[in-house]
Chains A and B, each alone.
Chain A
Amino acid sequence: MSSQAKTLYDKIWDAHVVQQADDGTCLLYIDRHLVHEVTSPQAFEGLRMTGRKVHAPERTIAVPDHNVPTTLDRASGVIDNEDSRIQLDALDTNAREFGVHYYPVNDVRQGIVHIVGPEQGWTLPGMTVVCGDSHTATHGAFGSLAHGIGTSEVEHVLATQTLIQKKSKNMKVEITGQLRPGVTAKDITLSVIGRTGTAGGTGYVIEYCGEAIRSLSMEGRMTVCNMAIEGGARAGLIAPDDTTFAYVNGRPHAPKGAQWEAAMDWWKTLYSDDDAHWDKVITIKGEDIAPVVTWGTSPEDVLAITDVVPAPESFSGGKVEAAKRALEYMGLTAGQKLSDIAIDTVFIGSCTNGRIEDLRAAAAILKGKKIKDGMRAMVVPGSGLVRAQAEEEGLADIFIEAGFEWRLAGCSMCLAMNPDQLAPGERCAATSNRNFEGRQGKGGRTHLMSPAMAAAAAVTGKLTDVRDMM
């Protein structure tokens, strides 16, 4: 190992250190700060109380997403829930008062903050990107160092455009070869968490690499990086390549002309050197990954759809009790075939799987089919622009004809802060990222999977191997 050899993470980190203390604590410069309505009001209020300004409003982008209704009547401007309305109003006031970039609810570019950032070209390779939201990891798909922060840190970034940080360790997750038919980016990222556990990445930044990752579109790469946080990692990264550059080129806030050329010169150096040091390496063969679902209440509870519900005794340590509790909460019995589990709700959307490619994959399964009688199924596009594109491509018609509700953009039932919620005991096939107890509504039961798998489940009324419908 040469002392000069660096990982991609090392390179981005080094380019953003403002100051380093003797104990290794660094002041890290932040290129982009994304803001939404739930984790920012206390931060803006903190600035107001101390008479501080936003240090770099031109690097700060605000968009409401968590609370917004996704029903078509939201255009009328009526939000029934008073607390939600207060939070949305607070973001509106704060964005205007502090002069940051802002996409209000009725702007066609509004959507989930992690979909809007890349779509508008705010997210670029080699940047540092933060947001008061754990799924900020999504932006790592561009080879930018991106992670979630708490509200105190949101205030710190607003006031100083920096964060106080210590460097994480480097982990390489390599997915070799190619994926089999019916296997998607979601299956990759869930399978990795199934392998490492939800704390397996704690203390690390993960770089995903290997042929199967290289073969993914930007949408797929965002899905993979999005769930790095579910594996406990601070961030997930994928080195930028021609796929990345082609996606970025021409976006509203991407560099143009000579600046584009200069940017490309640097971006092409953003990869891990061959002899760089890795603190941990995990290798998975792409052909070994199956379409997967979660059975429990942790994103690490991942199994192939062809498998059965595991027995709690098959685990060790604290996981035995956790698995018992999970089976009770989920209303499942050990030994039950996963493909026998009946569902009543389907949610396609979220920052994990609310992009155009996700909607295409789901629509491909649904074309000419109907959802099962009594099924509640909704598609919530990740942004107004994704929605518009899906309508243009005829995907919206496929969803509507199949019996899905075709909604406006927002976080929706991924975390159920708006009226899109599960009732106690309802069971949902979801393309989102968390199956925690109560996540989609108190007492609601969540099975995570890919958009194609969720679409298949909508048709059959139970968890289904999508390969049987291809």
Chain B
Amino acid sequence: MEKFEKLSGIAAPMPLVNIDTDMIIPKQFLKTIKRSGLGVNLFDEMRYNDDGSEKPDFVLNKPAYRDAQVLVAGDNFGCGSSREHAPWALADFGIKVVISTSFADIFFNNCFKNGMLPIVMPQEVVDVLMSDAEKGANARMEIDLENQTVTTSDGEVFSFEVDSFRKHCLMEGLDDIGLTLEKSAAIDTFEAQAAQARPWV
């Protein structure tokens, strides 16, 4: 997995609440057996007309935000389906950080498995960051994972919380499965004990 340390990039504002994973990547694009190539269909139904042309009003179609790497979003981002295609599509588009007041649980977990950082901030901070994002391409937001800070284009600094284990994995680009397989002996022991305690399982 790619390491995540620092990022300085354009932030796109999406103040809508309850942006669900069906919006992020509609089901017709889940028929792939690959992880890559989903960026072009990110937010497909909000982003394109029926004839495939772009809807000019959609934020990521605006010239200022076409290279956005950060999304500042409304509450409960990523709710709905467990599809990891949602973070895959965001990452493939180039978005590595999403900031919101809350995230749906499965989406939140899925981000960390793909080198992405979801950041939870209180409403008043999200409001400031949303305003900053609305300034467009001249306003670059800086995210520093090591120091756990978001810096606006005006130099205002906000701290955020992140789980220490997840931070470590992101910063080192660690593969969860490799880490867990190092604990095979503990898993074997657990299985032996469970087979005694709950043989019907």
Q: Tell me the A residues contacting B by CB distance below 8 Å.
A: 15, 18-19, 21, 23, 25, 27, 29, 31, 38-39, 41-42, 45-46, 50, 52, 55, 66-67, 81, 83-84, 86-87, 90, 124, 126-127, 132-134, 147-153, 155-156, 159-162, 164, 166, 197-199, 202-203, 229, 232-234, 255, 259-260, 262-263, 266, 298, 300, 317-319, 321-322, 325, 415-417, 434, 436-439, 442
- CB contact between A438 and one of B34, B45, B179 (< 8 Å): that residue: B45
- Interface contact tally, CB-CB below 8 A: 186
- CB contact between A202 and one of B35, B102, B109 (< 8 Å): that residue: B102
For this complex, 28 residue pairs linking A to B, each with C-beta atoms less than 8 Å apart, are: A25-B165, A27-B187, A29-B190, A29-B191, A38-B83, A52-B181, A124-B201, A132-B82, A133-B82, A148-B82, A150-B109, A150-B113, A151-B84, A159-B177, A159-B181, A164-B176, A232-B105, A255-B200, A321-B16, A322-B18, A322-B74, A417-B31, A434-B22, A436-B20, A436-B22, A436-B23, A439-B22, A442-B26
Instruction: Tell me whether B198 and A263 are in contact (CB under 8 A).
Output: yes
Is the contact region of chain A dominated by helix, strand, or loop, or is it mixed?
loop
Interface residues of B in 78-133 (CB under 8 A from A): 79-84, 87, 102-106, 109-110, 113-114
B142 part of interface (Cβ distance < 8 Å): no
- A87: which B residues are within 8 A, CB to CB? 31, 33
- B33: which A residues are within 8 A, CB to CB? 41-42, 45, 86-87, 90
- CB contact between B186 and one of A18, A199, A229 (< 8 Å): that residue: A18
User: Contacts A134-B80, A161-B187: A234 and B105 contacting too (C-beta < 8 A)?
Assistant: yes
- B76: which A residues are within 8 A, CB to CB? 197-199, 202, 232
Contact flags B3-38 to A (C-beta < 8 A → 1, else 0): 000000000000111101011001110111111000
**Besides A55-B187, A202-B76, 18 new A-B residue pairs in contact (Cβ under 8 A), listed by A number:** A31-B201, A42-B84, A132-B84, A134-B82, A134-B106, A150-B83, A152-B176, A153-B109, A159-B177, A160-B177, A160-B187, A202-B104, A259-B200, A262-B199, A317-B17, A321-B15, A322-B16, A437-B23
Distance of A196 Cα from B191 Cα, bound (Å): 38
- CB contact between B18 and one of A39, A147, A198 (< 8 Å): that residue: A198
CB-based nearest B residue for A41: B33
B194 part of interface (Cβ distance < 8 Å): yes
User: Contacts A148-B106, A417-B31: A198 and B79 contacting too (C-beta < 8 A)?
Assistant: yes
User: Contacts A124-B201, A438-B26: A199 and B75 contacting too (C-beta < 8 A)?
Assistant: yes
Min distance, Cβ A202 to any Cβ of chain B, angstroms: 6
Distance of A161 Cα from B195 Cα, bound (Å): 14
- CB contact between B200 and one of A23, A198, A262 (< 8 Å): that residue: A262
Instruction: Tell me whether A164 and B180 are in contact (CB under 8 A).
Output: yes
Closest 8 CB pairs of A and B: A255-B200, A83-B31, A152-B113, A150-B84, A150-B110, A318-B17, A41-B33, A148-B82
Query: B33, B87, B163, B184 — which one has the most chain A CB atoms within 10 A of its CB?
Result: B33
